[in-house]
Structure 1
Amino acid sequence: MPEDRQTDLFGAGGEQGDLFGEAAAPAYRPDADKVRARLHHILAEARAAQSLPWDRGRLSLYRTIFPQMTLWLPEDEAAQLRFEFEEELARLKAA
């Protein structure tokens, strides 16, 4: 009868290593207070200005990252911050 070299279903007794490696590191979650502070800083900068306070590059950056950063906050707060940011941009464009 042939020698039984097959491992059991749980991998005991085999020479084959772990196929999937180490467990994945936990996903990064930014500090909501730091995100909130940064968003409020950007809004304060816009509110204090009489005309657009940023060059094209910075404006493009803020238009991209501001909504993305709000995704780390509770939905109602995030929606309010996005609304306020868009309102300030509209005001500054009209100036």
Structure 2
Amino acid sequence: MTDEPDLFGPSQLGLGLEDTRPDPTKVDPEEVRAELLALLALARSARDEAPWDRRTHRYHQVVFPQMANWLPDDEAEQLRFEFARELERIEALLAA
């Protein structure tokens, strides 16, 4: 009975309801690293004005450290530290 197809499953009904999200257990650390380094480079390049608005600032404040969890502990901690320092500097640009 378990080998029979699910006649009433989302893909069988043609409704496009199947789960198309990427599998979070298959995260490529190289992709995460590249994204975090690009974001850190953007933050570092901001001199006269903030590279994003306050809402995006808060988003990066939360998401960057979480994404770093996919990297080795020492690398993740260093990236979090460097990004937090840039966030403080950008906070001053947003306040201006």
Q: Unpaired runs of 5+ in structure 2?
A: 3-22
Aligned residue number for residue 32 of structure 2: 35
Q: By how many angstroms is 1:27 displaced?
A: 6.1
Write the mapping of 1:2-17 to structure 2, written as runs, cut at 5 A: none
The answer to whether 1:93 aligns with 2:91 is yes
What letter corresponds to residue 71 of structure 2 in structure 1?
L
Structure 1 stretches of 4+ with a deviation exceeding 3 A read none
Structure 1 residue 36 displacement after superposition: 0.2
Aligned equivalents of 1:57, 1:48: Cα separation in 2? 19
For the pair shown, the structure with the greater C-alpha radius of gyration is 1
Match of 1:6 in 2: none
* Cα distance between partner residues in 2 of 1:29 and 1:91: 34
Figure out how many residues of one structure are paired with residues of the other and give that number: 72
Q: Distance in 2 between matches of 1:58 and 1:93?
A: 12
Letter in 2 for 1:34: E
TM-score, normalised with respect to structure 1: 0.67
1 or 2, which has the higher helix percentage? 2
TM-score (norm 2): 0.66
TM-aligned CA distance change 1:78 to 1:42, over 3 Å: same
Q: Percent identity?
A: 47
Segments of structure 1 that go 5 or more residues without pairing to the other structure are: 1-16, 19-25
